[in-house]
Structure 1
């Protein structure tokens, strides 16, 4: 009966206000603040000792601020000292909170050196400020942060690098550039913001056993905001397959892509679809690209389409029945001269993914006016420039990319994947996922084409196997495909970059890493 007592919602993402309310629930129900501090700091210290085993002559600097983040840091320093680490504490604040002052007094009693000015060390623990900082760091405290950033050693921030806004990830005056950040309890929203990545370094969640009831008491009535992890993605992958299945049960994707100037986009998106494991792939391209596509993607059914003078698909052949497909992906390399083709796929009653020029053409039609009229679900996969064209002013009005994606999804009634270093995936009803595990190696032409094909193939499989019976359940299916594809794509890019450097991950190699990385992750 007690087995589910601590079924932990470790993928939830919270704001500073929500985290304060959750901690307030713990304290109201009898958890002493001091006991929680000991527990949290003990787990932080255990992680540090595992990551940085004690070494002779090593000096560990502990920067303790005036609040409870500083108290956490002092307990961490005390625990490290008890295990043989040479610890030096720095307390630049003159008036710590009572509990932090108590820990500081005990640290002095133990004979651990305490100073005010940060000095060179071999490992530094940043406990200056945690979550919830709402004003810029200035004056003497700003100098402390700058001194930390001049250190030539690993810097571990407790909960959040000091100086980052908890929700937006914005730098408030100055901020610590950590090599590792140990987020406490639940993921803070800053960990899912592009602008925070240069300061967070390698993130790690330190679980301290928050009861689900405390989380649900604060977040229960709100649309969930989550951070993608391998644990949350396993159940969404289209494997293992039933042993008696066959290709016609594993989805049929129609990929409408390419033009003479952008022939490669069609091939790269087809490589992404191939990696998804979709049962059947039909590739609709301009007639002049048909033989090339057959040679490069021999397993696909390739349909050559009439062309415009510029080499775009003029229209889809009349005998191409769009309703026979599980899903359609349209847009990579399509060009702006394919409006008739675009209108045809939008008018279909098949689940539809729009990317690249499909989005640019949709912007000409008006996303908010066009998409709610569709009789099937739609997924949009824009980068920031395409998003601005589709939804002018929304990014400027929103506090972050996730909020912008939620606003746009609600406005047009479609699933929306907003690409970035931290990708945001929004459901029209408010559910939001972040996929922050990315790499600068993806800042390269062709990466998005591979992603479009990959998600399109996953969507076709989901639609064929799940057979959603209503728009709402179909939208959930769309988001599952988008979430799985974005996470998988990011993991493949990270692995490829580790082996080939960030300069060596072109679209073809990225597609080649997709299946080996998945096997590695599932092993």
Structure 2
């Protein structure tokens, strides 16, 4: 991947920003018709790669596909086996094209034309009477080619694949009948649907369903990633997402985004570049960070173990774990590498008082991670670490206690960096005045970070991380295998360990949080691939952290 492609793959834009970027391209002299041809040509080529036409599959697969009189090479990794591609399409290779009134519909019509020329059997569904001029011209030409065009949903023939070009980015009003009913009918068909730019019916920024929406099997996002692709509520509609890069100049992107807070998609390159690697040839354990974990209770001993495992796999130089005295022998048996600190406990089995080794106080540590398994009976402990001058990660009961003692005024007094790692329910307890994070996660996390002065990591299917300057990092993929008790504890330990190492290396706190979330997610994905989504418990997840990192570093 080139430097430009890497930069483009990180950019996430709103509908307004995308309009402004396209306006700059057109103002510079790029004809709309030329851009439509280019984009649609790229889409048509990808469709041929993913869903080859059986008519064009020869006995020996040469790695090319016919396109008129030109052969188009494509990567072998994109090709389906001959048997798989043949079984996907019927012998007719019939594709239905859903055409809307705007330029998204125009893109779909150019795709229809190109696939028609490549031997696919095409039909068009065009339910709108008024079309933009360019879209209307492409429809007229498709009609001249003899491609069947239907206006009523009841008339549509069968197909092997549907291509959704009804609405692109920028839709804001709820869809109504008859198009809403038509979309519902299309969703009921047992046919894969490939959406162009965004599944029709989704809000570009929030991912909200505007009345109804196409449930796509796959979506080709055009030019730059749109914000909807990273909102949890949109994920069941976008299917497998892929960026179609049509060479937007970086200068135009920068000119529009300017000094506004950036929203970035975390890529393997950005995540790996943040890791404290390679280590210097001459170093020692205290130079590689000393993390203090404060976690666990008689009731939740597992939280301490899982958090510590995540920390150990981070590579932190030294790990100390403060737990109730009754858990010390258990922790020692599971974590021989760590220094286990037994603390006086309450009658309920929570840590009642921090009792650190002689000549040691909180300032002796590079970072502190606090919360998993504590119970809210450990409230004085959480208040003590918040008042310290040490970089701090708060999770689980650490967050619940923070919510009880007033989140924003408490954190505004801290001088050292703070990272909060709530799930949606914890987020609402911490920031009850901020609109429901389920509606617009990115906006919610921006507001929370700006108001509290903390880095806020909002966990979910698409984890979002914001710093106090309202910049956002988004983890672009995850797995439902992580929806198990203890997964978040592993992340807390991993994040704490990386934070402890970053202190001496001057790596921004928000970058560390983004890298930890990405690494944690990738470990879950790899574990789910090898063990299925049901076979990834938190202990297994921790074991996959190093295996995942090794696979990316090779």
TM more than 0.5: yes
Match of 1:61 in 2: 96
Does structure 1 residue 160 correspond to structure 2 residue 198? Answer: yes
The whole-number CA distance in structure 2 between the counterparts of 1:119 and 1:229 is 41
2:428–2:437 contact (8 Å) kept in structure 1: no
Match of 1:472 in 2: none
Does structure 1 residue 404 correspond to structure 2 residue 404? Answer: no
Match of 1:369 in 2: 409
Alpha-carbon distance, 1:397 to partner: 8.7
Alpha-carbon distance, 1:10 to partner: 2.6
1:448 to 488, 491, 507: 488
Match of 2:388 in 1: 348
Does structure 1 residue 498 correspond to structure 2 residue 529? Answer: yes
The whole-number CA distance in structure 2 between the counterparts of 1:434 and 1:71 is 31
Does structure 1 residue 207 correspond to structure 2 residue 236? Answer: no
TM-score normalised according to structure 2 size: 0.89
Alpha-carbon distance, 1:66 to partner: 1.1
Match of 1:360 in 2: 400
1:414–1:427 contact (8 Å) kept in structure 2: yes
The whole-number CA distance in structure 2 between the counterparts of 1:312 and 1:98 is 70
Alpha-carbon distance, 1:163 to partner: 0.5
Alpha-carbon distance, 1:493 to partner: 1.2
Match of 2:145 in 1: 110
The whole-number CA distance in structure 2 between the counterparts of 1:465 and 1:247 is 14
Match of 2:22 in 1: 23
The whole-number CA distance in structure 2 between the counterparts of 1:298 and 1:74 is 65
TM-score normalised according to structure 1 size: 0.94
Match of 2:171 in 1: 133
The whole-number CA distance in structure 2 between the counterparts of 1:309 and 1:196 is 46
Alpha-carbon distance, 1:521 to partner: 2.6
The whole-number CA distance in structure 2 between the counterparts of 1:8 and 1:100 is 32
Does structure 1 residue 438 correspond to structure 2 residue 478? Answer: yes
The whole-number CA distance in structure 2 between the counterparts of 1:70 and 1:309 is 68
Report how many aligned residue pairs link the two structures.
512
Match of 2:34 in 1: 35
* Counterparts in 2 of 1:496 and 1:6: CA distance versus 1, 3 Å: closer
SS in 2 for 1:10: helix
Match of 2:271 in 1: 233
Q: Deviations over 1:467-501 (max 9, x none)?
A: xxxxxxxxx72111110111111111122222322
The whole-number CA distance in structure 2 between the counterparts of 1:275 and 1:44 is 42
SS in 2 for 1:204: strand
Match of 2:161 in 1: 123
- Residue pairs, 1:25-104, within 5 angstroms: 25-55=24-54, 56-104=91-139
Alpha-carbon distance, 1:266 to partner: 0.5
1:462 to 502, 506, 528: 502
Per mean C-alpha deviation after superposition, the further-off stretch among 109-118 and 221-230 is 109-118
The whole-number CA distance in structure 2 between the counterparts of 1:25 and 1:298 is 60
Alpha-carbon distance, 1:23 to partner: 0.6
Match of 1:417 in 2: 457
2:424–2:438 contact (8 Å) kept in structure 1: no
SS in 1 for 2:127: coil
2:232–2:438 contact (8 Å) kept in structure 1: no
Match of 1:471 in 2: none
SS in 1 for 2:107: helix
2:233–2:438 contact (8 Å) kept in structure 1: no
Alpha-carbon distance, 1:398 to partner: 9.3
Q: Deviations over 1:360-392 (max 9, x none)?
A: 111122121111212211111111111111111
SS in 2 for 1:243: coil
Structure 1: gaps of 5 or more residues: 467-475
* Counterparts in 2 of 1:218 and 1:251: CA distance versus 1, 3 Å: same
* Counterparts in 2 of 1:339 and 1:420: CA distance versus 1, 3 Å: same
The whole-number CA distance in structure 2 between the counterparts of 1:481 and 1:330 is 17
SS in 2 for 1:329: strand
| Backbone CA RMSD of aligned residues | 1.7
1:238–1:462 contact (8 Å) kept in structure 2: yes
